Amino acid sequence: MIEIEVKAHVDEPKQMERAVIALGASPIGIESQVDTYYNTPYRDFGETDEALRIRVQNGVSFLTYKGPKMDRVSKTRKEFQAGINDANTMGNILSSLGFFPVATVTKKRKNFRLGDFFISLDEVRNLGDFIEIEMSVKDSYNYEEKVESVFKLIEKLGISRESTIRSSYLEMVLEKKLTG
């Protein structure tokens, strides 16, 4: 599966939530997510632009791999995810294989659906408030058209294409650690 994603910082989350609903989006729930990201000494995911994480979401756990970004304008990537029974045991398995945790990202996420679009308003610990608009496609055939449709939607919300962010929350957390 390919996840097409565009993200931007939000100054007024309540105002953005009203704008999302005004476009016709339906609220579909609030989630609490804790993502622990891993790396390996054999291949630096920071250099290859990949990610491996364990996500605990409202008590349910997943292992997710994200491939490198596929273009220069969005966060579009191949993504594979599998449910796991025990996040701690999976962390121990990864550690036994040489993987090590590099950072944890904690967020509260309000989710909305608008047609094929999945919209999230995220409150990310130590980073602030963001909007993510996602769309999933099965393969890369004509995915550029779908990327463009996500940009058109974010522009309807008053966010310019130039103000979108290609960095992941992990990249932002690691950057913040470096700059103190």
CATH 2.40.30.10 for domain 2-179: no
The yes-or-no verdict on residue 177 having pLDDT over 90 is no
**Catalytic positions:** 37
Domain boundaries, the chain: 2-179
Beta-carbon contacts of residue 156 (< 8 Å; ≥ 6 apart): 23
Q: What is the mean pLDDT of residues 116-145?
A: 92
Which residues on adjacent β-strands are paired with residue 40?
43
Which residues on adjacent β-strands are paired with residue 32?
108
- Give residue-wise pLDDT tens across range 62-114: 999 999 999 999 999 999 999 999 999 999 999 999 999 999 999 999 999 99
